Amino acid sequence: MNVDQLADVLRKDPEFMENVVRWEELPAREARYADFPSQLDARLIPVLEKRGIHSLYTHQAHAVREILDGHDVVVVTPTASGKTMCYNLPILSAILRNPDTRALYLFPTKALSSDQVNELYDLIQLSGADIKTYTYDGDTPGAARKAVRQAGHIVVTNPDMLHSGILPHHTKWVKLFENLRYIVIDEIHTYRGVFGSNLANVLRRLIRLCDFYGSHPQFILCSATIANPKELAETLTGRPIELIDDNGAPMGKRHFVFYNPPVINQQLGIRKGAMGEVRNISGMLLKNGIQAITFARSRLVVEVLTRYLKDMVRDPLGNAGRVRGYRGGYLPTTRHEIERGLREGKVDAVVSTNALELGIDIGALDACVLCGYPGTIASAWQQAGRAGRRKASSIVFFVANSSALDQYIVAHPDYFLKRSPENALLNPDNIYILLNHFKCAAYELPFEDGDAFGNAPSPDMLMEYLTDSNILRHVGGRYHWMADDFPASSLSLRSAAEENFAIIDITDPAHHRVIGEMDRFTVPMLLHENAIYMHEGMQYQVEKLDFDACKAFIRQVDVGYYTDADLNISLSLLDIEEEVDQPGGLSRALGEIKVSALVTMFKKIRFDTHENLGFGHVRLPETDMHTTAMWWKLPDDLCSRFDNDQLKNGMLGVANLLRIVAPLYLMCSPQDVCVVYQVKSPITDKPTLIIYDNYPGGVGLAQKAYSMQRLLLEKCLEIVTGCTCSQGCPSCVGPIGEVGLDGKETAIRILRDMLLRSDH
């Protein structure tokens, strides 16, 4: 059956259609072609023709022209529109014309870089030219590094490696820096918030070194669909950038089905679980031979669904290779095998976390099932974009779970279909981040009096500050590094600790093998002792978790249940740095807090029925993070106006508003800050609203929030009073299901009162 036939069958199935709240058809889009631009080296044209490419899509031709004319560009294209051609073609063309030309490719993850390099290899091989492309990352063997540094025309790496492995050792990369002509940064929509602010500063350092070596590289950036690609590209690079978004790739018709699981308890309004419904829908696709990807929000759900789907198609030997799971934590070789299987059509169904949302090449699939709303419009579109053939039709199912947010989306499909995706924001001039990179830059090359650091404000003040701190020595008009350390090593570009746990299968005592890895933060949830750990649909029981050695030992089992752990997050006060607490005024403070995550117990849940089979205890150390926070303590006489539930709903509403407002004004991504409300806070002993940096040690976001606290509250009030919803929606206080019937009104009353007390 093909997608259109399946769509017809479903539409005639009243039982299915009863749960479909909206069936949207997105029309097919014709391809728009353009001739090969005259700027392109003629030797490439037969190479492309060998690959069956006789003309370019409009956006590709546009990009090639602009790049070869020497302009900095950002290319915005949906998945599978031939994006990599936009930069590979002009760069290969430039290298063919001048073999000294060098290019640097940056991808956000190692997995992505290896993927893109393969495609590049193909083109180079077909061209027969002696163009060397190398990947330089943590996996590059020591012996090969020298060759990469000397001979690589195209060096493929990631921001972390550039930051700590290349820039501080730039003298070993003389060839690259002297001849660097192009800097390609793919997937720039991932560089939001703190990660993006870090990258922007890494680029300032890179360009500064290029200046030293006398090269003036051009930027080529690529982004998935976001609201502000040009602005993001310009903030990242500090340069005006030309926007190319005239996508000429064709797209078949797309069905978008909003599915809400049926109500099973009318009195309590309880719906069937999304997982069971997804199991049926994905199973139906599998049985009809429609290649599909299913996205789930957690690793656990991925594994449970993978198992369900595998069970449907097992051969007599119990193998079900047509169904695969995919998530972070699988070994790279396993992941590549799955990606290849998808491209070659050997895998019919894959269940994935958002790990496959990024541009990893798995080809285009027929169908996509979203098990729950991924949280933002941008990532929902990216996941949905995995389905979409150039010619044939495709279908996307959004299956809502019972959370208030999902229920809102499924009740208001236009909210998702009509709104533009989120802005990606960052702030390269965040003083914490800037100062750290400024140190790295000073280490890499002494600053001279009057030097700039990209477009960073007042670099002379930073130089003076570091001189006063005895880190730099100002002599002879230059600032020399004067410390016995390596500043790049103590600065990580990402929030999550890099340290990973190895997952070791000890089923065969003579042959222990590592089957995967997991980051430290997730380990207590999924790898505590006695947990059922699922990997590619297989079950293992965790026998021993060695926290110090970062190893988890697991043994294969076959039991009828899985486990789900409860994570408790608690906050405690370490130190108050600043406080305003006047009678009648709005009480607020800035300080250090400890955020502790502790897993104390887990549930055993039976497959199929999802009933609870009992509990187990987990004995693990707390995972602590010290960070900075700011908070408002709500006044007693305000709180006494509400009953407990009202107050709780109102505070939740304000917290939701702050979650929307804070990233906009702190210029960070929503993951960078946490907003919490506590009706009886251990920090103040009173009802309290808290904003803290989601980074160990803090990165200055709470400070900024503290200094603009009144503005944040004003903006919250502006949004909630301006919102056209009647009793709450995800764009203001949150959906009714979450904040109750009077949540919106209470939130407004709380905000008005806070603002009334707050001084200007």
The residues that touch other proteins, with contacts defined as CB under 8 A, are 168-172, 174, 442-446, 470, 473, 475-476, 478, 480-489
CB of 478 to other proteins, least distance (A): 7
Beta partners for 107? none
The answer to whether residues 564 and 575 touch, using CB atoms and an 8 Å cutoff, is no
DSSP string of 464-511? HHHHHTTSEEEETTEEEE-SSS-GGGG--SSSS---EEEEEE-SSTT-
Residue 170 or 588: the one with the smaller Cβ distance to other proteins is 170
CB of 432 to other proteins, least distance (A): 21
CB of 42 to other proteins, least distance (A): 38
Matching residue, tokens 């990352």: 137
- Cα separation, 741 vs 724, whole angstroms: 15
CB of 446 to other proteins, least distance (A): 8
CB of 157 to other proteins, least distance (A): 17
CB of 168 to other proteins, least distance (A): 4
Residue 424 or 472: the one with the smaller Cβ distance to other proteins is 472
Residue 479 or 692: the one with the smaller Cβ distance to other proteins is 479
Residue 478 or 710: the one with the smaller Cβ distance to other proteins is 478
Residue 114 or 157: the one with the smaller Cβ distance to other proteins is 157
The answer to whether residues 242 and 71 touch, using CB atoms and an 8 Å cutoff, is yes
Matching residue, tokens 């072609």: 33
The answer to whether residues 294 and 304 touch, using CB atoms and an 8 Å cutoff, is no
Residue 204 or 299: the one with the smaller Cβ distance to other proteins is 204
Cα torsion for 433, 438, 443, 445, to the nearest 10°?
140
Name which of 392, 346, 344 is nearest 367 in CA terms.
Answer: 392
CB of 312 to other proteins, least distance (A): 42
CB of 211 to other proteins, least distance (A): 14
- Cα separation, 708 vs 703, whole angstroms: 9
The answer to whether residues 532 and 539 touch, using CB atoms and an 8 Å cutoff, is yes
Residue 213 or 665: the one with the smaller Cβ distance to other proteins is 213
Residue 151 or 711: the one with the smaller Cβ distance to other proteins is 151
Residue 119 or 485: the one with the smaller Cβ distance to other proteins is 485
Strand ranges of the sheet holding 447-448, from the earlier edge strand across to the other edge: 447-448, 478-481, 472-475
CB of 421 to other proteins, least distance (A): 40
Vertex 573: Cα angle to 572 and 578 (nearest 5) = 150
Cα torsion for 109, 112, 117, 122, to the nearest 10°?
180
Q: How many Cβ atoms sit within 10 Å of the Cβ of residue 117?
A: 17
Q: What are the backbone dihedrals phi and psi of residue 402, each rounded to the nearest 5 degrees, phi first?
A: -85, 0
Q: Where are the alpha helices (DSSP H) in 353-452?
A: 377-384, 404-411, 413-418, 431-444
CB of 444 to other proteins, least distance (A): 5
Residue 57 or 479: the one with the smaller Cβ distance to other proteins is 479
